[in-house]
Structure 1
Amino acid sequence: MTLDSKLVTLLDIDPHEVIIHKYGSSGFATTWRITTKLPSGEEAQVMFQGEHESLKVLRQCLPTLCPKSYGYGKLDDSSTRYFILTDFFDKSAQSSKEKDVYLVQKLAKLHTAPAPIPDGYTKRPFGFPCTTCCVETPQNNTCSSSWADFYANSRPRFIMKQSEKKNGPDTELSSMVETLCSNVVHGLLGDSHLNSGNAITPVLIHGNLWGGNTTWGKLPGMEVMEQIVFDSSACYAHSEFELGIMKMFGGFGREFMDEYHALVSKTEPVDEFDDRLALYELYHHLNHHAMFGGGYRSGAVSIMRMLIGKYSDS
């Protein structure tokens, strides 16, 4: 039996490196076991380095936000396996009832606290000093002094190239991404427009914050459980960029967002906030389309059609 191309795409594997065995039984389906190679050491190294550096800088800003990473690298007893070593968080401890440990409070502190300036820079750039992975995608974090330039080049344009490497050419989608980046992004996010023309200050964001990447837990030094985050893809960015994936995958209700915005005001122009949020959510639709194909394309197209129709001059 050969593995169907749909499963090859979904798993992002080499179909020639797969072993399939009939496994188990079911009264209504046929079940199989698929054995394949793990991601290469180079991919694991990049992913673990990005996670390590993300956790390190997040803890510099807010020590109770996430577990500490002690290190990453290649295992001595294996030439192909890599590791990352972090704090264990105890999920059986007593929960705290203090309001200041709720995630909304921590997120607001993260987005308003002065983030450390990366080594080699005189001020915080937009971007990040190393590659980070959003889910499994290595991201282009090349630093820039312009938020609009960084977002256009390192997020939609970059992920579109990754998508075409994996899924093949897509003239319509590629054209829409280019129109969006050329005619919409700078209009919505340009330095002379956003924040009433005052420069946006890069703040540290988690970068992959959805309901599945946060939990209640007790880290070393904590007396009770607090809400903590993990699986970070940190970036120096516009604070509202954080909210795009939070909206896409949920886990944060209206009460959470109302309390957050009571602490972190929406950027001017406020009446464009929903469109900026859609623009930021778009990246994650494109990223998931690059990884999994399928229905994520239609979500991306829907967002781009709306924004291009509303803001494009062409």
Structure 2
Amino acid sequence: MSPVPEPILRALSFPSESKASLSTSGLGSGFTSTGIIHAQVPGKIGTDERRYFVKTSSNGKAAEEMFQGESESLNAIAASVPGFCPQALARGPLDEPGTKGKTHFLVTEFLQLGGKMGRSTSDETTLAHRLGRLHTTSAPPDPNTGRRRFGFPVPTFCGDTKQPNRFHDSWAEFYANERLLTILATSEERNGPDAGLREAVEKTAYKVVPRLLGDGHLGYTSSGEGEGIVPVVVHGDLWSGNADWGRIVGSGRDETPGDVVYDPSACYGHSEFELGIMHMFGGFGPRFFDQYHRIVPKTEPVAEYVDRVELYEL
């Protein structure tokens, strides 16, 4: 155990008589350092035992943007489906005022993980039901236009790849520009140009994406009936390692245990976009997708469902 840094204590607004310690034993991550804050906070009757999860990174501006994206992603999911993921509680520079801040932190509610993912088809705490609820809840309107648009208020990161998430009225334009072409540009910046790769990605972005995801087509039957698609919050990095059975504890409120998700890279997008990573990395069997699609029917044209999921795997 070690003392909790003062900037974190200030951000959490602990009363002065609180006691808190930080444990990092056995914890780690590819891009950040992680730990658990144990706190004793004066309550109305006696002392409340609290627990928090904390991440830190010394990657300067990249760390600041990464934690902002994760914070907004967590809170977007939690706002739509309470208890489905931990809420972000505080973030900021870890360095003392007056120094050139390189280290940043993110504090979230604590997830106590362990057990088996929900198996019951009728249990509303299973991943299928909670994800289905997330994907049937319309994203909030863009405050600047009042319209529900595809994008996200801040950039997010998938691994260490930055995703700008600029808003678009068209889902096809968002997927082509903010995902395929953005990742192509990142690849060329890091690895150098590759003419064959650029040709393949541009052909996909300019021909395949409009064909499968274009306005007036996605969300409509072959006879032209439908209403298009409405943006919803998608986790954005939902592979089996980012989902488990668990419960939010030490938050001062009683959350229902069930299947939970974490480490999101969210955006407001097409619900089926979520399924690309889920299919690609595995861990979610036919039974899960059967349960999920009872809640979130496959988007029209249903005959192109498999093509769309393969496109989203890119």
Contact 2:83 2:255 in 1 (8 A): no
**How much has 1:224 moved relative to structure 2?**
5.3
Task: State which of 122, 127, 142 in structure 1 corresponds to 2:166.
Answer: 142
Query: Taking structure 1 as reference, are residues 236 and 94 closer, same or farther at Cα in structure 2, changes over 3 Å only?
Result: closer
User: 1:40 and 2:59 equivalent?
Assistant: yes
The alignment partner of 2:248 has SS state of coil
Contact 1:94 1:224 in 2 (8 A): no
Cα-to-partner distance string for 1:47-70 (whole Å, 9 max, x where unaligned): 000000111111110111100111
Q: How many residues align?
A: 247
Q: Distance in 1 between matches of 2:123 and 2:167?
A: 36
User: 1:265 and 2:297 equivalent?
Assistant: yes
User: 1:101 and 2:130 equivalent?
Assistant: no
Tell me the residue number matched to 1:81. Answer: 103
Tell me the residue number matched to 2:267. Answer: 235
**How much has 1:92 moved relative to structure 2?**
6.2
Task: State which of 200, 207, 223 in structure 2 corresponds to 1:176.
Answer: 200
User: 1:155 and 2:179 equivalent?
Assistant: yes
Give the aligned residue type for 1:83.
Answer: F
Cα-to-partner distance string for 1:94-119 (whole Å, 9 max, x where unaligned): 99877110111000000001332343
Equivalent pairs: percent with the same residue?
Answer: 46
Q: Distance in 2 between matches of 1:138 and 1:269?
A: 31
Calculate the TM-score normalised by the size of structure 1.
Answer: 0.74
Give the aligned residue type for 2:182.
Answer: F
Query: Taking structure 1 as reference, are residues 74 and 191 closer, same or farther at Cα in structure 2, changes over 3 Å only?
Result: same
**How much has 1:184 moved relative to structure 2?**
1.0
Tell me the residue number matched to 2:233. Answer: 204
- Aligned pairs for 1:288-299 (under 5 A) are none
Q: Distance in 2 between matches of 1:255 and 1:234?
A: 25
The alignment partner of 2:177 has SS state of helix
Q: Distance in 2 between matches of 1:164 and 1:60?
A: 37
Give the aligned residue type for 2:88.
Answer: S
Contact 2:60 2:102 in 1 (8 A): yes
Query: Taking structure 1 as reference, are residues 94 and 225 closer, same or farther at Cα in structure 2, changes over 3 Å only?
Result: farther
Q: Distance in 1 between matches of 2:115 and 2:164?
A: 39
Give the aligned residue type for 1:148.
Answer: A
Structure having the larger proportion of residues in helix: 1
Q: Distance in 2 between matches of 1:94 and 1:141?
A: 34
Structure having the larger proportion of residues in strand: 2
Tell me the residue number matched to 2:10. Answer: none
Consecutive unaligned residues in structure 2, runs of 5 or more: 1-29, 32-56
Q: Distance in 1 between matches of 2:173 and 2:115?
A: 45
Calculate the TM-score normalised by the size of structure 2.
Answer: 0.74
**How much has 1:86 moved relative to structure 2?**
0.3
The alignment partner of 2:313 has SS state of helix
Query: Taking structure 1 as reference, are residues 99 and 168 closer, same or farther at Cα in structure 2, changes over 3 Å only?
Result: same
Contact 1:93 1:218 in 2 (8 A): no
The alignment partner of 1:84 has SS state of strand
Give the aligned residue type for 2:230.
Answer: T
Q: Which moved more, 1:183-192 or 1:118-127?
A: 118-127
The alignment partner of 1:231 has SS state of coil
Tell me the residue number matched to 1:58. Answer: 77
Q: Distance in 1 between matches of 2:114 and 2:85?
A: 17
Task: State which of 219, 232, 246 in structure 2 corresponds to 1:195.
Answer: 219
**How much has 1:120 moved relative to structure 2?**
2.6
Contact 2:128 2:288 in 1 (8 A): yes
